[in-house]
Structure 1
Amino acid sequence: MDHDGHTHLAYALELPREPGDVQRELRIEREASYVVAVRNPEAPAPPGAGLTPRERAEFPREFLDRFGGRRFIPLDPPSLLDYEGAEIVLIGAAEDAEAELGIDLDAERERLEDADIFQDLRLRARELPTEPLEQGKWR
């Protein structure tokens, strides 16, 4: 979502219904909001951070021009993520994303077998370990 010149990623956890070990270890909150920025592959990375120049995304010139010499830009267009080696940074945003962004984050109460995520990712639930998603437990 584009908001005041930056891009937000906001979510509400649907599955598992209660966060488990997996979510706690990965620090996945029940609801969260992040500002998302894309790193300029032509800008040098701080020592010990980021990909090597060889591993970085090769964006078309039209995307590179958007950086205008800056190290980071908002994730706009989202197709910047379509490039292997695209580097992003997630910055924790507002405590109350619904109020700041004017959105409704009420999670739908889905059952695993009905979850849209598998269809969205073109995956089959029966072929994948689903315990981390369904129960919040490592397999």
Structure 2
Amino acid sequence: MKLLSEGADAVPAAEPKGQDKKKFRVITVGKKQLPDPDSGGSGRGRKETFWATVSAVGDDLHKLESGLGEKEYETKTRGTRHEGPARLVGRGAYAIVNNDPSTPSKRETHLGYHLSHPSPSQLGEVQHEMRIYSASSFIIQVRNPLAPVSGGQRVGLPQGRRAEYPEQVMKEVFGQGTRGTEAYGLRFSGVTRPELLDYEGAELLLIGARSGEDGLETSLGEGRGSALNETAEKEKDESIQDVLKELAMDEEKIPAEPLKGEWL
């Protein structure tokens, strides 16, 4: 992942294929769909906000495939349970950008993506239900793992499963002992450095921002949305088999039919 500063080039490098060693992150969104970027805002109420968790980080794609494959497990009350494999529903390019506002209080980190697969004409029921657009963007924040749950809410991970950041990160990012009104520092931070997403148990807020190519460009700025669009256009004709090769995955183990917009 490339964290882009103001004025940086957003054109991603070509993704190598056939390699079984490649850095990956699995981010699980609690609602099993993305926040709607077109709801709320501009006097229409609060923007939709969902919790997400970095559930796996590694560089062995075979372990990734195994973790996403079908599983059987035992329960005390219902016996043997079967869980089907994960299904590939979208592929594209993304960028994470920190803005450079006139005042610190307006600092935001934007995550924007543009799909290469499926094409806009192939977006179907699958993508609609999961709120996956051809292009979209979100504001992304990282939760301070030391911050307690506020207002009696039961959201997020229990303390023992949260990310354990080094002391330097806690001080420089969250301001532990130096910023905010509490000893732990700020409750949330933007993604000011990419390693914040390299820890299992990192908790994120995804806040819907804007959809469409114009919305993507507005969020990322300085031609970055157009650059992601250009990358998607170049890669849209790659076969599903090539897409799976990027992740060293077997089509028989990780179904890719939802890329065509239909459930199995």
TM-score, scaled to structure 1? 0.85
Q: Counterparts in 2 of 1:1-139, with a 5 A limit?
A: 1-4=97-100, 5-17=107-119, 18-46=122-150, 47-65=153-171, 66-68=173-175, 69-95=185-211, 96-100=215-219, 101-102=221-222, 103=224, 104=226, 105-106=228-229, 107-108=232-233, 109-110=236-237, 111-115=239-243, 118-119=245-246, 121-125=247-251, 127-133=253-259, 135-139=260-264
Cα shift at 1:113: 2.6
Q: Deviations over 1:39-64 (max 9, x none)?
A: 00000124121111111111111111
Compute the RMSD of aligned alpha carbons.
1.9
Instruction: Work out which structure has the larger RCO, using CA pairs closer than 8 Å and 6 or more positions apart in sequence.
Output: 1
The AA in structure 2 aligned to 1:137 is E
The AA in structure 2 aligned to 1:112 is I
The AA in structure 2 aligned to 1:75 is V
Q: Which moved more, 1:93-102 or 1:29-38?
A: 93-102
Structure 2: 5+ residue runs without aligned partners? 1-96, 101-106, 176-184
Structure 1: 5+ residue runs without aligned partners? none
Kept in 2: contact 1:118–1:125 (CA 8 A): no
Aligned-residue identity in percent = 41
Q: Which moved more, 1:95-104 or 1:49-58?
A: 95-104
The AA in structure 1 aligned to 2:193 is P
Report the secondary structure of 2:126's partner residue.
Answer: helix
CA distance in structure 1 between the partners assigned to 2:196 and 2:241 by the alignment? 31
Number of corresponding residues: 136
The AA in structure 1 aligned to 2:158 is T
The AA in structure 2 aligned to 1:40 is N
CA distance in structure 2 between the partners assigned to 1:32 and 1:93 by the alignment? 8
CA distance in structure 2 between the partners assigned to 1:94 and 1:25 by the alignment? 18
Kept in 2: contact 1:22–1:136 (CA 8 A): yes
Report the secondary structure of 2:196's partner residue.
Answer: helix
Q: Deviations over 1:9-29 (max 9, x none)?
A: 111121112211221111111
TM-score, scaled to structure 2? 0.47
CA distance in structure 2 between the partners assigned to 1:114 and 1:75 by the alignment? 31
The AA in structure 2 aligned to 1:60 is P
Cα shift at 1:75: 1.1
Larger strand percent: 2
CA distance in structure 1 between the partners assigned to 2:142 and 2:249 by the alignment? 27
Cα shift at 1:126: 5.1
Report the secondary structure of 2:116's partner residue.
Answer: coil
CA distance in structure 1 between the partners assigned to 2:204 and 2:218 by the alignment? 25
